[in-house]
């Protein structure tokens, strides 16, 4: 599987897009609908599956495409191919406020487990697989569900998540507790588990839910500060059309404080 080496540049601060430079003959795959613009001579080709298998027959392709459906993506992937004789650029935009993180898969051992739907684009040849969370408890309460995405290959991949995306390095044996829903991606050497918050009082009034997600090293993990569901929740809560409060936060101190105390948890 020959990977294409791609150069890239990320633009923007909170609502980013990534511009990928393709040498003649190189190609990148993008999530359907993620393309923002492209230069002349870049051919768009929609393929069934993730475009990584050169062969494998119809059934293989069908299986791959079915897996993509499970991770919440479309059946088809779009391959952007530079047919020209000079370097050309294509850009992919993030679908909601957040950060785009480039990950060189070779640097982390070739495999990355990530949140479903977080894939943005990659060099052609990176395969988009599915990784079932086999720990029942983690699947139920870990905030990421039972289905995660697995990126395999030795090229560059771009993932995207809400808020600020932070890369953390865990030393052997080091563990961090993370709010559920904030885990975006991790190396397969990282142990992803859940832990009860510890006290009934905290579980009920702490606002963090019953469980934390725990990540144990060694390896790299990527965390997001604002999961999309949380952002959406806040927007709906304050949208008058959806029955939320339209009052400005600073209009009445009492209402604001009371709302803050009595208002339900955001996730």
Nearer to other proteins, 20 or 183 (CB): 183
DSSP 32-64: TT-EEEE-TTEEEEEEES-S--SS-HHHHHHHH
Nearer to other proteins, 193 or 267 (CB): 193
Nearer to other proteins, 62 or 108 (CB): 108
| Distance in Å, CB of 248 to other proteins, minimum | 44
Q: End-to-end alpha-carbon separation of the chain, Å? A: 42
- What is the contact surface with other proteins in residues (CB under 8 A)? 107-109, 113, 131-136, 139, 169-173, 186-192, 216-220
> Comparing C-alpha atoms, which of 88, 109, 101 is closest to residue 6?
88
| Distance in Å, CB of 230 to other proteins, minimum | 24
| Distance in Å, CB of 137 to other proteins, minimum | 9
| Distance in Å, CB of 86 to other proteins, minimum | 34
**Residue 183: CB partners within 8 Å, gap ≥ 6?**
115, 142, 143, 144, 192, 213, 215, 221, 223
Nearer to other proteins, 117 or 191 (CB): 191
| Distance in Å, CB of 152 to other proteins, minimum | 11
| Distance in Å, CB of 210 to other proteins, minimum | 19
């Amino acid at each position: 599987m020959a990977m294409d080496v791609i150069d890239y540049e990320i633009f923007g601060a909170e609502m980013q897009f990534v511009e990928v430079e393709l040498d003649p003959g190189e190609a990148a795959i993008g999530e359907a609908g993620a393309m923002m613009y492209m230069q002349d001579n870049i051919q768009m080709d929609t393929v069934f599956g993730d475009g990584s298998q050169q062969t494998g027959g119809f059934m293989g392709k069908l299986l791959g495409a079915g897996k993509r459906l499970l991770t919440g993506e479309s059946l088809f992937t779009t391959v952007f191919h530079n047919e020209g004789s000079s370097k050309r650029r294509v850009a992919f935009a993030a679908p909601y406020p957040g950060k785009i993180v480039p990950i060189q898969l070779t640097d982390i051992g070739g495999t990355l487990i990530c949140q479903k739907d977080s894939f943005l684009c990659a060099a052609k040849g990176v395969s988009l697989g599915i990784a079932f969370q086999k720990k029942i408890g983690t699947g139920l309460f870990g905030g990421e569900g039972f289905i995660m995405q697995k990126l395999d290959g030795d090229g560059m991949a771009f993932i995207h998540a809400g808020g600020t995306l932070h890369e953390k390095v865990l030393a052997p044996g080091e563990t961090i507790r993370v709010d559920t829903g904030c885990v975006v991606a991790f190396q397969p050497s990282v142990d992803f588990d859940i832990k009860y918050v510890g006290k009934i009082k905290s579980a009920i009034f702490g606002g963090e839910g019953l469980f934390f997600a725990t990540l144990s090293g060694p390896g790299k993990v990527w965390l997001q500060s604002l999961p999309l569901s949380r952002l959406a929740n806040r927007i709906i809560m304050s949208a008058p059309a959806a029955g939320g409060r339209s009052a400005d936060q600073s209009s009445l101190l009492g209402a604001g404080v009371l709302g803050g105390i009595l208002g339900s948890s955001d996730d």
